[in-house]
Amino acid sequence: MTSGPNLGADIGFAATAAVTVAAAAILATVYTAQYGFDLLPCALCFGQRVPYALVIVLGGLSLMPAVDARSRRVVLFHLVGLFALAAGLALYHVGVEMHWWQGPITCTGSARALSMDDLTTGLSKPGGPMCDEPAFVLFGISLAGYNFIAALILTGISLAAALRKDWWTT
């Protein structure tokens, strides 16, 4: 006698797929903003992309048919950590934009003593966007702010899905 499909494992698979697709959509959005609308990212923006790229790789690999439900659940717990990291990086960037704290000297233009060699070197390199000046704001929230919100939501969804033991039994 054969048993039917395991609905719990299917829901766990769907949860993992959903957060992986969401991470891909977020990266697609920022690349569209960068290349389609010329919203140049600052150094902190580039750093915020790394956790999403790792989620896509790990989540995508865990969706392969050879991966069992229990292993997929372990990967989902790792995705929780990556989304929490993304939220932390985004919160740091929001704090820099709002001038709650000082950002990296390399992208906030903080005053410091410069020599003539520093000035010559600085003039020969193209300038990038400043981390403390949002490139885009909608409803009073910058892209880093929206990233913080999205990362928090995805952290919560991933954690809730990973904690559902009935979804992961095989």
In the structure encoding, which two tokens stand for residue 126, read together? 């193209």
Smallest CA-to-CA distance from 48 within 20, 90, 83, 82 is with 90
At residue 142, does pLDDT exceed 60? Answer: yes
How far is C-alpha 122 from the geometric centre of its chain's CA atoms? Answer: 30
Separation between Cα atoms, residue 20 and residue 56, nearest integer Å = 5
The residue type found at 115 is: S
3-state secondary structure of 84: helix
pLDDT digits over 63-121, tens only?
Answer: 888 888 888 888 999 999 999 999 999 999 998 888 888 878 777 665 555 567 755 66
In the structure encoding, which two tokens stand for residue 91, read together? 């919160």
Separation between Cα atoms, residue 24 and residue 53, nearest integer Å = 8
pLDDT digits over 1-55, tens only?
Answer: 344 455 556 787 888 899 999 999 999 999 998 899 888 888 888 889 999 999 9
In the chain, domain spans: 7-101+115-164
Question: Is the torsion defined by CA of 139, 140, 144, 149 positive or negative?
Answer: negative
Side-chain half-sphere CA neighbours of 44 within 13 A: 31
Separation between Cα atoms, residue 118 and residue 66, nearest integer Å = 55
pLDDT digits over 82-96, tens only?
Answer: 999 999 999 999 988
